A and B are shown apart, each in its own frame.
Chain A
Amino acid sequence: SQTIHQWPATLVQPVGSPLSLECTVEGTSNPNLYWYRQAAGRGLQLLFYSVGIGQISSEVPQNLSASRPQDRQFILSSKKLLLSDSGFYLCAWSGLKGQGEVDYGYTFGSGTRLTVV
Chain B
Amino acid sequence: GQNIDQPTEMTATEGAIVQINCTYQTSGFNGLFWYQQHAGEAPTFLSYNVLDGLEEKGRFSSFLSRSKGYSYLLLKELQMKDSASYLCAPLWKAGKSTFGDGTTLTVKP
Could you tell me which A residues sit within 8 Å of B by CB distance? 32, 34, 36, 42-44, 46, 49, 51, 90, 104-111, 113
Contacts and interface: CB of A to CB of B under 8 A. Distances in A.
B39 to A, nearest CB: 10
Given A32-B95, A105-B33, A42 B45 contact: no
Contact of B42 (A32, A104, A105, A109): A109
Could you say which of B35, B91, B97 has the most chain A C-beta atoms within 10 Å of its C-beta?
B97
Contacts of A106: 33, 35, 43, 45, 89, 97
23 contacts: A32-B95, A36-B99, A42-B101, A43-B87, A43-B99, A43-B100, A43-B102, A44-B87, A44-B99, A46-B96, A49-B96, A51-B95, A90-B42, A104-B48, A104-B95, A106-B45, A106-B89, A106-B97, A108-B42, A109-B42, A110-B41, A110-B42, A113-B40
Contact of A111 (B30, B42, B91): B42
Given A104-B31, A105-B33, A106-B33, A44 B95 contact: no
Contacts of A46: 96, 98
B13 interface: no
Nearest to A104: B91
Interface residues of B, number: 22
B41 A111 contact: yes
A32 B48 CA distance: 18
Contact of A44 (B40, B41, B43, B44): B43
B40 to A, nearest CB: 8
**In the complex, the 4 A-B pairs of residues with the closest C-beta atoms, listed nearest first:** A43-B101, A108-B42, A44-B99, A105-B45
